[in-house]
């Protein structure tokens, strides 16, 4: 991206609506009530042929104490310092207020480059507000309507000169998932560098959990500064906020999400939007960190959140936060491991790390666990090794024989990665019980060192793909080559 634009102004002047228009998607939560936005949200903006980064901010309040509104104001002021240019938005139908004058003074004192935008200025209703905008001393007011898209061409011409002034920056990337593996690729050893995080394609991490588990505090400690709004109040985070950084040498893009409560307890429209925003962040992530509170771990909602991450096919790491508050650490750790194995069998072997978002203890181990989970999530196993293992598994525990008719498993191959996906060719696939599927999946985890990652295993009938029935394989030489290829002999 060529430059960064921060959208600032009083609450409820239309900043998030303008942000959504610039990024071309409804990323920021929008509601009629003021103060919906609390954190800083970044996005890739597209305005005709202009490409830049845009930051949505909380509404500026005339409060400077340590209350929630005061912390939101300091975070917005930080966004002004981070940005190359600020778009100061006022409400054209209300006109210039004393708060607008105060914040205009703040922007001037900071020496920020400012564009004054008068929103909701469509028609004659916005004429008075546009004229009043001159009194702020920030240059000619730009009349826009974020809701209807009016004035975007004028904004384009005001931003166009900035394009060449700033260094080119890389665009953000969404992760590739469910990657198909060709038959040729399946025979090759995995290229360990294929999905290694880079500045262009950082490792994408989502931190999810119940309200007040300490997600924002943990991310701030990882970043090394107070980038996200935190405090003792539950439910401060509303949007799913993404931040780019480098963590112990690893380029990352980390998502902070709103706390997810039980569905029955979610009554407000705004909270429903926040939770759906967090769910969408999981789908953009490669590794999901499920953050638990050590005082109340593995509640029903924690289990649902972890199961959702596994169902979406993401690598999962369990982090137990507020470990600094625990006195009997050894006893508590043993209890947590027992609960984990009993309550989340679908994530068998996933790493469970104890951390403290307040002190930073355990963050190095969390970093290593995330990298290991990401590596396993990308793993590819050659077909020859798979079938050698499959033969040993079948010999140790043959498939069942429902109705006296034994199921014969012929061979297996990996067809997808991110997460690993396998197909096993067999007779009577519809009769294969889930217990035998779990037996093979657990064997894959143990033998090929794939703890915790989601593994997809599908049984298919032989049909015309059975090499022993296909006429082209009936010659002895072809039959021998096929056997050698699939048994590793």
Q: Is 382 annotated as a binding residue?
A: no
Q: Is 264 annotated as a binding residue?
A: no
Specify the 3-state DSSP secondary structure of 63: coil
How far apart are the C-alpha atoms of 334 and 316, rounded to whole Å?
20
Q: Is 122 annotated as a binding residue?
A: yes
Q: Is 49 annotated as a binding residue?
A: no
Q: Is 368 annotated as a binding residue?
A: no
Q: Between the CA of residue 115 and those of 6, 52, 133, 137, 292, what are the distances in Å?
A: 10, 15, 11, 11, 43
Token pair 């950084």 is at which residue? 245
How far apart are the C-alpha atoms of 143 and 215, rounded to whole Å?
39
CB neighbour list of residue 473: distance below 8 Å, 6 or more residues apart: 467, 479, 482
Q: Is 57 annotated as a binding residue?
A: yes
Q: Is 289 annotated as a binding residue?
A: no
Q: Is 321 annotated as a binding residue?
A: yes
Q: Is 120 annotated as a binding residue?
A: yes
- Assess whether the previous peptide bond of 419 is cis (omega < 30° from 0): yes
Q: Is 323 annotated as a binding residue?
A: yes
Q: Is 465 annotated as a binding residue?
A: no
Nearest residue to 407 (alpha-carbon basis) of 343, 460, 332: 460
How far apart are the C-alpha atoms of 123 and 113, rounded to whole Å?
28
Judged on CB neighbours under 10 Å (0-12, 13-18, 19+), 199 is exposed
Q: Is 153 annotated as a binding residue?
A: no
Q: Is 256 annotated as a binding residue?
A: yes
Q: Is 260 annotated as a binding residue?
A: yes
Q: Is 9 annotated as a binding residue?
A: yes
Q: Is 61 annotated as a binding residue?
A: no
Q: Is 259 annotated as a binding residue?
A: yes
Q: Is 435 annotated as a binding residue?
A: no
Q: Which helix (H) or strand (E) holds 50?
A: strand 50-56
Specify the 3-state DSSP secondary structure of 251: strand
At 166, list the tokens. 């700033």
Q: Is 10 annotated as a binding residue?
A: yes
Q: Is 56 annotated as a binding residue?
A: yes
Q: Is 59 annotated as a binding residue?
A: yes
Q: Is 125 annotated as a binding residue?
A: no
Q: Is 121 annotated as a binding residue?
A: yes
Helices (H) and strands (E) in the chain, counts: 14, 16
Q: Is 478 annotated as a binding residue?
A: no
Q: Is 442 annotated as a binding residue?
A: no
Q: Is 13 annotated as a binding residue?
A: yes
CB 316 within 8 A of CB 292: no
Nearest residue to 290 (alpha-carbon basis) of 231, 370, 365: 370
Q: Between the CA of residue 37 and those of 15, 59, 288, what are the distances in Å?
A: 9, 7, 24
Q: Is 4 annotated as a binding residue?
A: no
Q: Is 16 annotated as a binding residue?
A: yes
What are the binding residues for GTP?
A: 9-16, 56-60, 119-122, 209-216, 256-260, 321-324
Binding residues, by number, are: 9-16, 56-60, 119-122, 209-216, 256-260, 321-324
């Amino acid at each position: 991206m060529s430059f960064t634009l921060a959208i600032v102004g009083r609450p409820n002047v239309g900043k998030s609506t303008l942000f959504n228009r610039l990024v071309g998607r409804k990323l920021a939560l929008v509601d009629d009530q003021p103060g919906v936005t609390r954190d800083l949200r970044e996005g890739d903006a597209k305005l005709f042929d202009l490409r830049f980064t845009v930051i949505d901010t909380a509404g500026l309040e005339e409060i400077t104490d340590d209350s929630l509104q005061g912390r939101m104001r300091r975070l917005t002021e930080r966004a002004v310092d981070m940005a190359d240019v600020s778009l100061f938005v006022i409400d054209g139908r209300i006109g210039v207020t004393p708060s607008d004058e105060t914040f205009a003074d703040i922007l001037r004192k900071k020496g920020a480059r400012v564009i004054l935008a008068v929103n909701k200025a469509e028609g004659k209703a916005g004429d008075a507000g546009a004229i009043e905008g001159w009194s702020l001393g920030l240059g000619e007011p730009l009349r826009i309507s974020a809701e209807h898209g009016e004035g975007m061409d004028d904004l384009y011409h005001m931003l166009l000169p900035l394009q060449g002034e700033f260094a080119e920056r890389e665009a953000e990337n969404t992760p590739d998932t469910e990657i198909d593996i060709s038959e040729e690729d399946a025979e090759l050893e995995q290229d360990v560098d294929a999905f290694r995080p880079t500045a262009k394609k950082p490792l994408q991490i989502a931190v999810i959990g119940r309200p007040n588990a300490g997600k924002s505090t943990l991310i701030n400690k990882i970043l090394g500064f107070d980038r996200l709004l935190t405090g003792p109040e539950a439910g401060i985070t509303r949007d799913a906020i993404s931040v780019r950084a480098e963590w112990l040498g690893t380029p990352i893009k980390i998502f902070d999400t709103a706390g997810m409560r039980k569905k029955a307890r979610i009554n407000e429209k705004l909270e429903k939007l926040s939770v759906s925003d967090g769910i969408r962040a999981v789908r953009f992530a490669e590794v999901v960190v499920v953050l638990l509170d050590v005082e109340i771990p593995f509640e029903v909602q924690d289990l649902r959140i972890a199961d959702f991450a596994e169902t979406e096919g993401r690598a999962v790491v369990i982090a137990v936060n507020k470990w600094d508050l625990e006195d009997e650490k050894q006893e508590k750790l043993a209890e947590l491991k027992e609960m984990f194995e009993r309550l989340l069998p679908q994530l068998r072997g996933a790493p469970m790390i104890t951390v403290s978002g307040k002190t930073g203890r355990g963050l190095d181990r969390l970093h290593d666990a995330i990298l290991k989970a990401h590596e396993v999530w990308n793993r590819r196993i050659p077909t020859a090794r798979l079938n050698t293992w499959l033969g040993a598994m079948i010999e140790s525990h043959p498939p069942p024989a429902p109705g006296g008719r034994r199921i014969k498993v012929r061979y297996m191959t990996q067809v997808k990665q991110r997460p690993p996906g396998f197909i096993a060719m067999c007779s009577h696939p519809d009769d294969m019980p889930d217990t035998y599927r779990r037996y093979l999946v657990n064997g894959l985890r143990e033998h090929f060192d794939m703890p915790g990652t989601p593994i997809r295993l599908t049984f298919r009938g032989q049909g015309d793909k059975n090499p022993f029935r296909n006429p082209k394989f009936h010659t002895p030489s072809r039959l021998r080559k096929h056997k050698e290829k699939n048994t590793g002999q």
